[in-house]
Amino acid sequence: MSAATRELPAPAGLAAPGQTVVRIGPVSGRVRWRQVVVPAVAAVVVVLLGAVSLGRGDYPIGLADVLRTLVGLGEGNQPFIVLQLRAPRIVVGVLVGLALGIAGALFQTFARNPLASPDILGITQGASVGAVAAIVLGGTTGAGAVLGGLGIPMAALAGALATGLLLMALTWRRGIDGYRLVLIGIALWAGAAALTHWLLTRAEIYDAASAYVWITGSLNARTWDQAVPLAVSLAVLLPVALATSRALAALQFGDDTARGLGLRLSGSQAVVVLVAVLLTAAAVAAAGPIAYVALVVPQIAVRLAGCSRPPLLASALLGAALVVGADLLTRTVLPQALPVGILTAAVGAPYLLWLLVRGRRRSTL
């Protein structure tokens, strides 16, 4: 049989409408076109938003000039403005959106709960504790000197990882239960938020102002120093996250079903949660805790792609589109430039309220 890909008519009962059976030699499978089209369209949107963002600012540059600059044909100050001032900001925004989108999809699929996201589980708040401690206590003796030596990004990374590992340790009982994960995560969020506010009360006014800007989540003044480590982290973590798709497909049906399908439950659960924690930690260390991207985007991806669980690739690309688009709006549409985290929070907070109200209505039926 030819090794070329052929589209076959779907036999009765095998492929639902909107699907096509594809066979390559002895291997066949079903292609769900919505799950192909949604990531493709999201990728195009990310590219277009990035191109527009590179040209907008105090010194406007046309799209044609931006493209010429990217291929090394820019004139005057255009290479410096595009490649050194604006490109790192856009690249960091794309990478942060990718990381948060896929981290939210991992958490929500694993916990089988749309409320499960790094924001609700306390991981981003743990990063805030580390960053604020580095700002407020840096330069003093003891632990403050250590945090000050690490720098804000590394302190945030350490805070996020510590909170994530504590979450796993407190949740683990011969495996991780999704319901218990959410409850313990909310408790960790409350404790980390209280600790952050306590640190802010001890800060000098200038340190407190700097800390507030960071914990809001911002792409301002991002450079290649933040973009390159984040890109390296994603190059390692994204393939691992995508490789968990089979485990996630089984986990969404419950622990007993997953065991019946031959899944090594404890190991698979640990890998999924650890990868989600690492993705969140890397994103927060680069740009601060940009709120609610990981909460909102996976549910949007589910509805657009028509899946039974948040699709990983679509969630990642939609997360990138949301972060870059929100940053573009804050710089060009709003009367005053704001941290991107304010706009994403303005979108995510009503969505969170809607989720809670919908859950309450269902529980009373």
pLDDT, tens digit (0-9, with 9 covering 90-100), for 306-362: 887 888 999 999 999 999 999 998 888 876 778 888 888 888 778 777 766 765 555
Report the distance separating Cα 75 and Cα 93, nearest Å.
26
| Number of domains present in the structure of the chain | 1
Residue 86 is assigned to a structural domain of this protein: no
At 1 the pLDDT is 40
Residue 233 is assigned to a structural domain of this protein: yes
Residue 181 is assigned to a structural domain of this protein: yes
Residue 101 is assigned to a structural domain of this protein: yes
Residue-wise pLDDT tens digits, 201-235: 888 888 888 888 888 888 888 889 889 999 999 99
Report the distance separating Cα 351 and Cα 365, nearest Å.
21
Report the distance separating Cα 9 and Cα 15, nearest Å.
9
In 8-114, alpha helices (H): 33-55, 63-70, 78-79, 87-111
* CATH number where 145 lies: 1.10.3470.10
Report the distance separating Cα 363 and Cα 274, nearest Å.
31
Residue 234 is assigned to a structural domain of this protein: yes
Residue 20 is assigned to a structural domain of this protein: no
Residue 102 is assigned to a structural domain of this protein: yes
Residue 22 is assigned to a structural domain of this protein: no
The parent domain of residue 203 ranges over: 96-359
Within 10 angstroms of residue 38's Cβ, the number of other Cβ atoms is: 24
DSSP E strand stretches across the chain: 6-8, 19-24, 27-32
Mean pLDDT computed over 150-175 = 83
Residue-wise pLDDT tens digits, 48-105: 999 899 988 778 888 888 888 887 877 888 888 888 888 999 999 999 999 999 999 9
